[in-house]
Structure 1
Amino acid sequence: MSILLPLYVYPSAGAWDPLYAAAKAHQNVDFTVVLNPCSGPCMGSLPDELYLEEVPKLQAYPNIRTLGYVATNYTDKDIESVLAEINTYDNWQKLTGITKMRVDGIFLDETPSTYDPDSYEYLKIAGQAVRQCTSFNGGFVAHNPGLISPEILNSKTVLQESYLNLTDMTVVFEETFENWLDKDTLDPLQEHKIRRSKLAVILHSVPNLSNQVLEFVVDQVEETADWLYLTNVTETDQYYHSLTPMFAELVTVVDGGIARRRKG
């Protein structure tokens, strides 16, 4: 189990410190961190000075992977614009002269969930561009459709009729905590045969949970995916613009689960 963190938090003084502290204290936990300085990479300019100071710090932690945010508008955005944004992230290192001012791949947001041949070709081209970027470490590709229905995930032809074979990680559920608890949603999501290491779940509007309940929730998510993020921020459109107050506790619980599995 690992953490997928949409870090849309402006890097004002101390804002990213909880992430640094968690990565240092919990070296068995892997973090994939999505950077989004300008609803993308800041086309036509570099991110401001605070980003130029803070992004390289992330590279000091071997358990942190960084991804640049690019929206596809469900493949309605012109593919050339998507490729230009990917290329802009790739150029950060060169333009700044800062070796560690880079990302390791791209988080393609607003991707479609139902299969379409044209969308498949579009996302294939975008993924190939990511893997060809010279400054990226590994060229990691993530998709976020927000939701992939259990019917698709449990289909025997899911790998032929989805975009899962184009990605290293796909967010299969980004919804409220309340919706996650719906038995008609939860049970089918846990029945798929896809490698969980390729899947992620993001839950927002999480209520305050005791440590015991949080452990239970993390265990339940792990039945579906190996990557997760939980936030108890409830304000619409602000879910990822501040680190959730439960962040440290969430990482501790995830680390504890890793330790239990190693002992078991």
Structure 2
Amino acid sequence: MSILLPLYVYPQAGAWNPLYIAAKAHPDVEFTVVVNPCSGPCNGSLPDATYLSEIPKLRTFENIRTLGYVATNYTTKDLSQVLSEIDTYANWPKTANNTKLKVDGIFFDETPSEFVREKYEYLKVASQKVKNGTAFRDRFVVHNPGLLPKTLLTTPTPFQTSYLNLTDITVLFEETFTKWLDATTFDSLRSHKIKRDKLAVILHSIPNLSNTVLDFVVEQVEDSADWLFLTDISQKDEYYHSFSPIFQDVVEAVDRG
């Protein structure tokens, strides 16, 4: 398994150290990290000096992939704005004259779950902007609809009527731990026909669990997806803005798994 980390933590001195410590201690665990300076790349051409100083440190770890955050507002955002934000990330190294600011792809947040042809064409253009050319090292694309519909999870041909063929990873489920445990949700997430290495699960509001139970949770998530993120932070809109006390335990559980 691997970690998909929404790194929305402002990088003041030492703030990203939990990630650096985990990446160094667990070289066999792959981290795909989403940087999000201003709910996107910021209105100007570059983020502030603190980000410019910290993002290059991510490049020093072979097991960290870095993605830039772009929201599509479920494809209601003007496509030209989405493409412009992609270009902004692509131009960071040239604008700052620092090749270590190069990101490896784009994390598209707030993407649709139900298939609509017009929305597919919108996301196809955005994804091809990342996939074509050399602006992004891995040309890596992630979609986060937050939840995939049950009809998609049960169909034997999930790639024919979905956005899955546009992505390297799609977030299968992003919700509270309690909702993940609900029998209807839990069972449907485990019965899909999609390759697990194409999927991620993000759970917040995790209760206080022993390491043994946490290992079990990681194993159960792995039945649905090869990528995960777990946090015990439960305050709305703060789930990904600080490192959870259980972050190191989660990484250790993934490494053990």
Are 1:117 and 2:117 an aligned pair?
yes
- For residues 57-206 of structure 1, the aligned pairs below 5 Å read 57-206=57-206
Deviation at 1:162, TM superposition (A): 0.5
Aligned residue type for 1:228:
L
Deviation at 1:31, TM superposition (A): 0.2
| Structure 1 residues 72-95: Cα deviation after superposition (integer angstroms, max 9, x where no partner) | 000010100000000000000000
Unaligned runs of 5+ in 1: 258-264
Residues 93, 135 of structure 1: 8 Å contact kept: no
Query: 42-51 or 245-254, which moves further after superposition?
Result: 42-51
Distance in 2 (CA, whole Å) between partners of 1:210 and 1:98 is 43
Distance in 2 (CA, whole Å) between partners of 1:238 and 1:132 is 34
Are 1:43 and 2:43 an aligned pair?
yes
Deviation at 1:44, TM superposition (A): 2.2
Residues 90, 134 of structure 1: 8 Å contact kept: no
SS at match of 2:65: strand
Aligned residue type for 1:131:
K
Aligned residue type for 1:43:
N
Residues 45, 92 of structure 2: 8 Å contact kept: no
| Structure 1 residues 32-91: Cα deviation after superposition (integer angstroms, max 9, x where no partner) | 000000100012231111101110000010100000000000001010000000000000
- State the partner residue of 1:261: none
Distance in 2 (CA, whole Å) between partners of 1:249 and 1:82 is 36
- State the partner residue of 2:56: 56
Are 1:251 and 2:251 an aligned pair?
yes
SS at match of 1:100: helix
Aligned residue type for 1:101:
L
Distance in 2 (CA, whole Å) between partners of 1:118 and 1:17 is 42
- State the partner residue of 2:12: 12
Question: What value does the CA root-mean-square deviation take over the aligned residues?
Answer: 0.8
Distance in 2 (CA, whole Å) between partners of 1:208 and 1:15 is 23
Deviation at 1:133, TM superposition (A): 4.8
SS at match of 1:146: coil
How many matched pairs? Answer: 257
Dislocated runs of 4+, deviation >2 Å: 132-135
Percent sequence identity over matched residues? 64
Tell me the TM-score normalised to structure 1 length. 0.96
Distance in 1 (CA, whole Å) between partners of 2:16 and 2:151 is 38
Distance in 2 (CA, whole Å) between partners of 1:173 and 1:44 is 32
